[in-house]
Amino acid sequence: MRRIIFVTGLLFCAVSHAATINFPEEFYPLQVDEKTIEHSWFSKIRTLSLTPGHYKLKLKYSDLYELGYDEHEVVESAPFWVDLEIPKEGTYRIRFSRAESIEKARRFAKQPLITLRAENNGEDTQVNAVAEPVMEQVEAPIAPIATLRPESSTKPANVRAPNAPIAAPPTPAVMLEFWWQQASQAERAEFLKRIGQ
């Protein structure tokens, strides 16, 4: 019984000293320091629980703009790093000014400017966003995807060097992301319309 009370007390102390960071739907976290955040295709992580301190976050901006009656465009940034200082526990929200036009959204995607607001006192703190593309290491599951595009190479897609390591098959999330990148704006809008029903 004492152990249960002790463990419960430890868990309560750990939770009570955490800060909750809420993200708007246009931003999603990809990485906290060295820890990668896993998202599913249909569900993005919108809340992080961190202890007070200094963090480097890798974020991505993605917003859907309506161009006409049945025409949409997704404006996305390359992944970028943000230096984030969380002074104390509490609830915080990442905030930004949404662009009114697609041209301004494209400019914003190249140089995102965000703030961190403490929800309990309403103070805004400017966050240092470094809008340079993140240099990613190419992982093994991505290699077969590049060979699916015949225009990228004149060699057959299945040619391998002797004794080359066999890459693991791509995950469904990687394949979905690949096909999303290949789709036209009209196809993306039609897909979003279908999953919204």
Task: Supply the pTM of this predicted model.
Answer: 0.56
> Closest Cα partner for 177 from 150, 152, 148?
148
Confidence (pLDDT) at 194: 82
* Under-70 pLDDT residues of the chain: 1-17, 126, 128-169, 197
CA angle 102, 104, 108 (to 5 degrees): 110
Confidence (pLDDT) at 113: 87
Confidence (pLDDT) at 132: 52
pLDDT, tens digit, 9 for 90 and up, residues 60-94: 999 999 887 788 899 999 999 988 888 888 899 99
Confidence (pLDDT) at 115: 87
Confidence (pLDDT) at 137: 47
Instruction: Tell me how far apart the alpha carbons of residues 24 and 62 are, in angstroms, rounded to a whole number.
Output: 10
> DSSP states of 53-92 as a string?
EEEEEEEEEEEEEEEETTEEEEEEPPPEEEEEEE-SSEEE
Confidence (pLDDT) at 24: 93
CA angle 20, 24, 27 (to 5 degrees): 100
Compute the CA torsion angle 181, 170, 133, 59 (nearest 10 deg).
90
Burial label, 8 (beta-carbon count in 10 A; 0-12, 13-18, 19+): exposed
Confidence (pLDDT) at 105: 93
Confidence (pLDDT) at 143: 41
Strands (E), the chain: 19-22, 27-32, 35-36, 47-50, 53-68, 71-76, 80-86, 90-95, 115-118, 124-126, 128-130
Confidence (pLDDT) at 127: 72
Instruction: Tell me how far apart the alpha carbons of residues 164 and 146 are, in angstroms, rounded to a whole number.
Output: 17
Compute the CA torsion angle 29, 31, 35, 37 (nearest 10 deg).
40
**How many other CB atoms are found less than 10 A from the CB of residue 57?**
23
CA angle 120, 10, 45 (to 5 degrees): 50
Instruction: Tell me how far apart the alpha carbons of residues 109 and 167 are, in angstroms, rounded to a whole number.
Output: 33
Strands 53-68 and 71-76 turn out to be: antiparallel
Count helices and strands in the chain by DSSP H and E runs = 5, 11
Confidence (pLDDT) at 90: 87
Confidence (pLDDT) at 22: 92
Confidence (pLDDT) at 16: 54
Confidence (pLDDT) at 149: 40
